Chains A and B, each alone.
Chain A
Amino acid sequence: MKALKRIGSILKTVCLYALLAVYLSPFAFVAVNAFKSRREILSNPFGLPQVWSLSNFINAFNRMGFVSAFVNSLIITVFSVIVIAVFSAMTAYLFVRTNWLFNKVMFFAMVAAMLIPFQAIMIPLVQIYGGLNLLNSRWILVYMYLGFGTSFAVFLYHGFIKSIPLELEEAALIDGCSRLQVFFKIVFPLLKSTTITLIILNVLWIWNDFLLPSLVLISPSNRTLPLTTFYFHGTYTSDYGLLMAALALTILPVIIFYAFLQKHIIKGVMEGAIKA
């Protein structure tokens, strides 16, 4: 009976690993073929390349303007994520600690807006602000991310700030701290774990987002990584090796980010599930 159980558990483990191998094979397919020439891909799509040549990567890197796209994505993501976290935390703090009607109305509007799909607002968004000539700027896009991201962030912080005891703040106020100092020296540090969760979820959202940047960023010099990859793919449809290299280059940065922060990312998803 014991032996049978052992075999069963080994079998389960083997099954899981096999499943995982199949599951991750698309990445392997791209990685291996990115080193091959077009002819070699057609004749031998499975095997390892005959020569490990980096030429596809170098060509893709240069022709897609990887550096410019990467920097655009980086600027937009970093600034958006920071302003969302700081402003939303302040807003949630003010909403929790004062009970004005205005706050309640705004909080309700924000929670309600979380339920509206982005596609419902994208057309008026582009029409109104395109008409006002406000599109095609990375900074406007950052501001839009603040506008879209703040609802969820305020909601997340709101729940946490409610649990912070007032005594802490009162002590600091008596010691002569200003409100702003109280917030940045006492409240904001206490929100650290919520902030990490929020930052990670927002990085994944903004870095990978395609639709909003595709509507806002018109000139090629402003394009983010997903846009560049998409247009590059449209231009070089038949140069398979080059495309694989471009895809590998595009996917790699997030995977590196993930590898370093995976514990926090998984925790973030888990917390999200429990709170809801």
Chain B
Amino acid sequence: MWRKRTTRQEALAGYLFIAPNLIGFLVFQLIPIIAAVVLSFTAWDLINDPKWVGLANYKALLRDPVFKLSLKKTFQFVIINVPLQSALALIIAVLLNQNIRLQNLLRTLFIVPWVSMSVAVGLTWTWIFNSQFGIINQILLKFGMQRIPWLASQDWALPSVIIVNVWQYLGFHIIVFLTGLQLIPREITEAAIVDGASAWTRFWRITIPLIGPILFYDLIVNMIGTFQIFDLPYAMTGGGPGNATRVYNLYLYQKGFQFLRMGEATAMAVILFLLIAVTSGLFFRIIGRRINYDLT
């Protein structure tokens, strides 16, 4: 229809109108993406021109113990954070879903940390974890327990940042699950109650299979987001103590902007992208296929 009525002139005028964002997209997104891949094969310290070095950056990364450590920290972060956060959110969403009156107020309040600025949230929690007067240690002391050195200790720092991450984004995942739960037809649940199915059985036999697609979506979004965690460890620990919280993106940032090893940093970026693509792809293959999508 459009083609019959539109003159060439009209279409060109249309492109003129959308040129600003097409150019913005090309200039700020597409060109840097291509540049990142090219730069990952060069050595560049900002002062001299980039020099083609082939795979040297990738080889250097494989020899870099901190690179491997940051990879390990990130995987630990993902493996602990994703199941914990999504499971907690699912449980709370199921509880909220049983009482519609409460639901509106509670879900509103649960999402407040998510809308807050993560840098401010991270800084706030450094005070809560503060070993001298932070609330948590004060409570521990009151109950006659030992102080925990939280962010100051090699062992506790990563779990501490994970706790904050779980806390901050929990509300988002609760909303996602509530969406899924509200798609389950009431009749199914009611029929199961009439048949005498316990809450436990209903959860595993009805809820879980029927929110399959949403559960899958949530886990994927959670995983991709967690792989890219940056703000919280940056604001809370800067990667320390030692390398305890130096997650992948933080190290990438530091390699590029503090150690000025641009080539290696962009190589890390390329690896990150491949890593996310492969992990999501595997996830789709293993779990995505078994899910029943005919819900709505």
A: residues with CB less than 8 A from B are 9, 12-13, 15-16, 19-20, 23-27, 29-30, 33, 41-42, 45-46, 83-84, 87-88, 90-91, 94, 97-99, 106, 109-110, 113, 115-128, 143-144, 146-148, 150-151, 166, 170, 173, 179-180, 204, 207-208, 210-211, 215, 225-226, 229-230, 233, 240, 243-244, 247, 250-251, 254-255, 257-258, 262, 265-266, 269-270, 273-274, 276
Contact = CB atoms under 8 A, between A and B. Distances in A.
Tell me what chain A mostly uses at the interface: helix, strand, loop, or mixed.
helix
B58 to A, nearest CB: 15
A30 B123 CA distance: 11
A123 B266 contact: yes
22 contacts: A16-B95, A23-B170, A30-B124, A90-B18, A94-B14, A109-B30, A119-B228, A119-B272, A121-B32, A123-B262, A123-B269, A124-B36, A124-B266, A144-B28, A146-B21, A179-B14, A208-B119, A211-B231, A230-B235, A266-B108, A269-B176, A270-B175
Interface stretch (B78-86, B127-135, B153-161): B127-135
Given A117-B272, A170-B1, A273-B179, A229 B230 contact: no
B124 A247 contact: yes
The 9 closest A-B pairs by CB, nearest first: A147-B28, A147-B24, A124-B35, A120-B269, A121-B32, A87-B21, A124-B32, A270-B179, A91-B18
A123 B256 contact: yes
A47 B26 CA distance: 55
Residue of B176, B227, B265, B270 with highest tally of chain A CB at under 10 A: B176
Contacts of A106: 22, 25
Given A87-B20, A266-B108, A119 B230 contact: yes
B228 A255 contact: no
Nearest to B216: A276
Contacts of A88: 21
A41 B167 CA distance: 24
A179 B6 contact: yes
A150 to B, nearest CB: 5
B115 interface: yes
Contact of A266 (B29, B111, B252): B111
Contacts of A30: 124, 127
A226 B120 CA distance: 7
A121 B270 CA distance: 9
Contacts, number: 257
Interface of B: 1-3, 5-6, 10-11, 13-15, 17-18, 20-22, 24-33, 35-36, 39, 44, 46, 92, 95-96, 98-99, 102, 106-113, 115-121, 123-125, 127-128, 132-135, 138, 167, 170, 172, 175-176, 178-180, 214, 217-218, 221, 227-228, 230-231, 234-235, 249, 252-253, 256-257, 262, 265-266, 269-270, 272-273, 276-277, 296
